[in-house]
Amino acid sequence: MIKIRDLEKIYRTEEVETVALNKISIDVKEGEFVAIMGPSGCGKSTLLNILGLLDDPDNGSFLFNNIEVAHFNERKRADLRKHNIGFVFQSFNLIDELTVFENVELPLIYTGVKAGDRKKRVEEVLDKMQIMHRRNHYPQQLSGGQQQRVAVARAVVNNPKLILADEPTGNLDSSNGNEVMTLLTDLNEQGTTIIMVTHSEHDARYSHRIIRMLDGQTVLENIMV
C-alpha cells in the first residue's frame, strides 16, 4: 500500500538546517497495523505528516497504492487524503463549534456525500463507537475518552483505507486508552491499515510491527508475534 524510498525532509532557517528524515525507506502492506516509536525529535511526526499527505518531502519517492504522490499539489493531496486517509490525534482535534454528529459528518461533506446518506452513515458509526447518545453534545461537554471515540468515528466514517494515529492515547487515562486501542484493533481486523506513532510500549504491542526511529532514520524493526 505504502512504499517510500530514500525520503528526505530538511527544515531550514536562516542559520540552522535540521534533517528531520534522512533517506528513510519503509513499506507498509494493506491490512497491516504498524507502530512507529522513537524519542522526541526523531522524525516520527514528520514521517506521519508526509504519509498523511499533509506535508511533502524534499527528496525521495512515496508510492501510495502504486501512485507516486511525493510531489502532488495541494488540491490533489487534499483529494487523495479525503477519500483514503483518516486521522486520529493525541489532542482529539474536534471542532468546538460543531456537535458530535456534525464533527463526524464533516469528512462526508467534503467528499460530497448526500445529506440522507450522511445521516445514515454518521449514525451507524456513532452507534458502533457507542457514542450515539452524545450525538448532540459539543466536544467540551464530553470526557477525553468520549472525545477520542468521536475522533475515531470521524476518522473511519469515510471508510478510509488507511488510518494514521498520532499518539492516540497520549491524553487519556489507561482505561480510556485501552478502549481506544481496542477500537483501532477492531478496525484493523476489519481490513483498515493503521500506522500509529506512539511513545507507549504498551500501545505498540497492539500492532503487528514496530518501526523504531532515531535522527530521521529507521534503526530497528520488531515483528510482533
Partner 1 sequence: MFKNYFKTAWRSIIRNKAFSLINITGLSIGIAASLLLFIVVQYEMSYDRFQPNYDRIYRVVTQDKFDKDITYNSGVPVAALKALRTDLPNIQFGALKSIYGSQVTVPSAGNATGNKFILKSGIFFIEPEIFNIFHYDWLVGGADALKDPNNIVLDERTATTYFGNWQQAMGKTMVLDNAITLKVSGILKNVPANTDLPLSVLVSYETLKQYGSAYNHADNWNTTSSNFNVFALLSPAAKAADIDKALLQFSKRHYDVMQTNSVKRNFLQPLGTIHFDRRFETLGDHVTSKTTLLTLSLIGLFIILMACVNFINLSTALSVNRSREVGIRKVLGSNRSQLFAQIMSETAVIVCLSVILAMGIAWIVLPYIKHIASIKEPLTLFTPKTMGMMLAMGLVVILLAGLYPSFVLSKFNPITALKNKMVSASVRGVSLRRGLVVMQFTISQVLIIATAVAVSQMNFISKADLGVNKEGVLVLSSNGDSLIQSKQMAFKQQLLQVPGVQSVSFNSDAPSSDNTWSSNFAYNHQPDEKFQVTLKFADADYIKTFGVHLIAGQAAAECDTSREAMVNETLLKKLGIKNANDAIGKEIRMGRNKWLPIVGVMQDFKTNSLREEIKPLMITSNKSFQFLTAIKLRTHQLPHTREAIQKIWAQFYPDYAFAPSFFDEDIAKFYQQEEQLSLLYKIFAGLAIFISCLGLYGLVSFMAVQKTKEVGIRKVLGASVASLLKLFSKEFTILIIISFFIAVPVAWYMMHTWLNNFVYRISLSGWFFIVAITGSILIAWITVGYKAIRASLANPVKALRSE
Residue 106 interacting with partner 1 (CB under 8 A): yes
* Contact with partner 1 (CB under 8 A) among 44, 81, 134, 212: 81
User: Is the Cβ of residue 55 or residue 58 nearer to partner 1 in the bound state?
Assistant: 55
> Should residue 93 be labelled a site residue for partner 1 when binding is judged by CB under 8 A?
yes
CB 73 within 8 A of CB 45: no
Are 157 and 121 within 8 A, CB to CB?
Answer: yes
- Pattern of binders to partner 1 over 136-155, x per CB under 8 A? ------------------x-
DSSP output for 109-168 = HHTT--HHHHHHHHHHHHHHTT-GGGTT--GGGS-HHHHHHHHHHHHHTT--SEEEEEST
Nearest distance, CB of residue 10 and partner 1, angstroms: 15
Least gap, CB of 54 to partner 1 (angstroms): 5
Select from 157, 178, 160, 161 the least CA-distant residue to 169: 178
Among 22, 89, 161, 185, binds partner 1 (CB under 8 A): 89
Angle at 93 between CA 90 and CA 99, to 5 degrees: 135
Interatomic CA distance for residues 205 and 216, integer angstroms: 22
The residue range among 8-16, 109-117, 121-129, 198-206 that interacts with partner 1, by the rule CB under 8 A, is 109-117
Binding of partner 1 at residue 121 (CB under 8 A)? Answer: no
CB 164 within 8 A of CB 52: yes
Contact residue for partner 1 among 1, 10, 19, 54 (CB under 8 A): 54
Judged by the rule CB under 8 A, the positions of this chain that interact with partner 1 are 49, 52, 54-55, 74-75, 78-79, 81-83, 87, 89, 93-98, 102, 105-107, 109-111, 154
